[in-house]
Structure 1
Amino acid sequence: MHEIRKADDRGMADLGWLFSRHTFSFGDYFDAHQRGFSDLLVINDDKVEPGGGFETHSHHDMEIISYVLSGALEHEDSTGEGSVIQAGDVQAMSAGRGIDHSEYNHSDDEPVHFLQIWILPNRLRVEPRYQQRHVSAAEKRGCLRLIASAEGTGQSLRIHQDVRIYAGLFDGDETAQLDLPGERFAYIHLARGSACINGLHLQEGDGVRIRHEPTITISEGEQAEVLVFDLRPNEKPRMT
């Protein structure tokens, strides 16, 4: 069973320095039918102009993942961490009992394009934590590379939830499969290009909810960059 979320149906914010598309309800955009999926609460497709950025603000009890597609994002937070997140980098921040942070375009002349992802955690008031690693194109080429998980398997970033996030690059005859045991759900987001997901043709920005299908197959990619979220079988985000 599947449910496609078309790119053009997403919410939108245009602040001049920021252009963002919201897969799920966020900020001033609200859709009662798009309030997250399982433990996945937010996928924001953000493009920040040179000189622009998010001033210091607070989060708590949220797993926040930034996945940079192009450009560079400068990060600082109240744990004392500071870094520049480049294309191919993945950052995970566990806000826990509270964290302040800012994010700015690091470049004076190039935009930065990144996905901001929020996962509802399974533990509250944890010690805030920051992680970052680079995942090369070669690691993602023609396969699904685990980039975040509860166990930190295979050098993936560790998050406080029973969620596994994979990233892959696909062109031409490259294919990959992912098994979903135990009636688990999945959400697939096409970050770039086009590809077929279980025979469904998706374009850049499209997403699809997958329920009660034992295997995900990705094929027929054209400069495709795909994120796959392996999720608990819950319809909406909720603390347990």
Structure 2
Amino acid sequence: MVLGAGLRVLYRLHDKFQILLVGPRTDSLAKQTLPEVALSGKPVAHARLPLAPIARRTQAQWIQASATSIDPEAQLAQLDSHGTISYDFLVIAVGAVKDYSAIEGLEEFGYSVCDDDHAPRLWDALSAFKGGPIVVGAALSTWGTKVAVPDLKTPCEGPIGEVIFMAGYELRSRKIAHTISAFTPGDVFFDDVGENVHASIGPLLGAAGVEVLTAKNVSRVAKGSVTFTDGTELESELTVVIPPVPGPTGHHRLRAGG
């Protein structure tokens, strides 16, 4: 049983196991294609992979449901529909949870590229953009770990780079005057990619005229401005933020019983 209907698990194991996909959506989101929706105007269907035909092709089962609890000892999962289902092996692949409400004003005055609801909104805003300062960056995320990994302040900042360069290209092609400032709560921009990428990306950002601000934790997005926890503020006519990524909460959280 794969909770969250993770396709990577399906593709790797479907020829070795009988797989049951369980997830609340009718499709799987190809997140790596969302910048093409948000910044190049591709239809959102471009990023959605319907689960039913994929399940048929791989001889997997698929149930549209969410798990509400698991009993590891009895090897049972309780679903919000379809009752209780047994499993031999359980893979929890429910994905990341984006907390847009954690940043004041983000939903009302800001934009994001992180899901299939927000990506089309960003394209609409970019299409209507008349010029001025643009501010992009990632909010602070905190999480624990049981293994030795770098202490990163954000999830992958790659989408920020895509926003910078793809939005810049789009606006230059339309001859719209703009500036771009990028912020990160970490001490290093693109902290997760290593020194080789840092050496390459720095000159590109400089050539594009992008101002990079480090150790900046966004606290508020308003019409025309972005505020940080240190009290500083930037003017912004278009604000794009990767929201905090906490652990699963609410209906995403699984209760372990048994």
Which TM-score tier does this pair reach, normalised by the shorter chain?
under 0.3
Structure 1-normalised TM-score?
A: 0.26
Please state which structure has a larger fraction of its residues in strand. Answer: 1
Structure of higher RCO (CA pairs closer than 8 Å, 6+ residues apart): 2
Structure 2-normalised TM-score?
A: 0.25
